[in-house]
Amino acid sequence: MSAQTTERWAVCLLAVYGALLPWWNTGATMALLLLAVGGVVRLRTLRMPVPRTFWPLGAAWAVAAGWAFFDGGWAPVLRWLPWLLLVPALAPWSAHVRNRGLLLGVAGGFLYLALATVFHTAGVDLPTGNPVDPLSAGRVATSRAFGGVGHQHIYWALYAFLGGLAVATSSPLPRWAKASALLALLVLTGWGGSKMGIAAVVAGGWLWLGMHPAGRPWRWGLRLGLVALGVAAVVLFVQPTDGRFQQERLLHPKPEWATGSFETRSVQWQAAVRLWSDAPLWGRGAASKQDLLQAEYHRLGYWFGEKRRLNVHNTYLEFLLAYGWMGASAVLAAVLAAFWVGLRQKLAVGGPSPAHRASTWALAAVLLLVALTESLTERVLGVHLIGWYAYLMASGFETPPAGDSPRQTAQTASSVG
């Protein structure tokens, strides 16, 4: 099989992986597994060294999966599998192959979700391809912007983030293509109806425009445009209620009446903090924490959360509740070690470029802010999202020069690191 054919297969698998992420975790993980198996074979065939980013991300996977395993739950163990697969799946391929496959997958998944949304408003549900839940595409895609029952804006935020990663690392793209793609991602996030998603994209865009050389000539005009879009989104999605009333709902919610996004999250956060305070070092367990939350919801009279089995809706509290300070610190240390690997490689050749720094901070702002109001690690797609960022940060958003073979690129990276 020629190298060009092999790369085409990699692009196809990446596209399938990206397109299936929102509604079929098993299908997406199988595509990633096939890509990882092919990547390992490619590493061995071309005698490429094992990428150094594999070890810290593998350690993060081992800590999270080990904590979940000893708690007695297999589902949390499988949830962390992408962290082990991402490096062998991505490292053997050039940035061009990765970004092309990812952009195709994001575009395909976005178009299908948009189509499913339109059909859902007409009373027709498109199939998802998921044999367990074959008629849920409309519920997956439908957001509060359309008055639907799905309200799954996290899926749109995922696509905004993955698309942003691909755009940020695709240096051959012309400026107009990057600007158009980023504007589309902003509209996409607003379409999903997530106030925090909109705020995250606005904050990320603000940072990018201030740090990236390409954005400096017109940064203040675009920044004002971002702020205007953010204000418009707040006016559109937030009910015009008294500010003191909103503050009271957030800080002193009544669990029996909590049904809105502000007060429900406040109740869930307070319930999680109380449960975590009983075992701050080791946590309450990844497999058992939801049952403990259900019992706490019942004690509080929080019928809305109990009926819907709502999670914490905060990635940081979710981690602390499941793994405690010890487990959360161990996973964080391993992920930071992956970042340090990439930073060392960049420092050895003069430090990160302004474009790399801009993309790194902008995407970090999006990820960290969305994690404040969503439990990313409670869904496999959230684990994928964090893994993508960690890998690309650790690899330095590298784009091998045209004409470099994978072996030459790997040897260069090895000598630099």
List, for residues 7-33, the tens digit of each pLDDT value: 889 999 999 998 888 777 788 889 999
The answer as to whether 402 is a domain residue is no
The answer as to whether 257 is a domain residue is no
The answer as to whether 294 is a domain residue is no
List, for residues 155-204, the tens digit of each pLDDT value: 666 677 777 777 766 655 566 556 656 665 655 555 555 677 777 877 88
| Phi/psi at 131 (5° precision) | -65, -25
Q: How far is CA 350 from the centre of its chain?
A: 29
The answer as to whether 377 is a domain residue is yes
The answer as to whether 30 is a domain residue is yes
The number of folded domains in the chain is 1
Range of the domain at 166: 3-238+314-396
Query: Any idea of the CA torsion for 225, 230, 232, 237, to the nearest 10 degrees?
Result: 160
Average pLDDT taken over every residue of the chain: 75
The answer as to whether 303 is a domain residue is no
Structure token digits, residue 57: 């991300």
Cβ-based burial of 220 (10 A; exposed 0-12, middle 13-18, buried ≥19): exposed
The answer as to whether 268 is a domain residue is no
The span from the CA of 397 to the CA of 10, in Å, is 19
| Report field, pTM of the whole predicted structure over 0.85 | no
Q: Is residue 327 a contact partner of residue 282, using CB atoms and an 8 Å limit?
A: yes
The answer as to whether 205 is a domain residue is yes
The span from the CA of 101 to the CA of 116, in Å, is 22
Q: 């240096």: which residue's tokens? A: 171
Cβ-based burial of 123 (10 A; exposed 0-12, middle 13-18, buried ≥19): exposed
DSSP-derived secondary structure for 145-212: GGT-S---HHHHHHHHHHHHHHHHT-TTS-HHHHHHHHHHHHHHHHHHT-HHHHHHHHHHHHHHHHH-
The span from the CA of 315 to the CA of 392, in Å, is 21
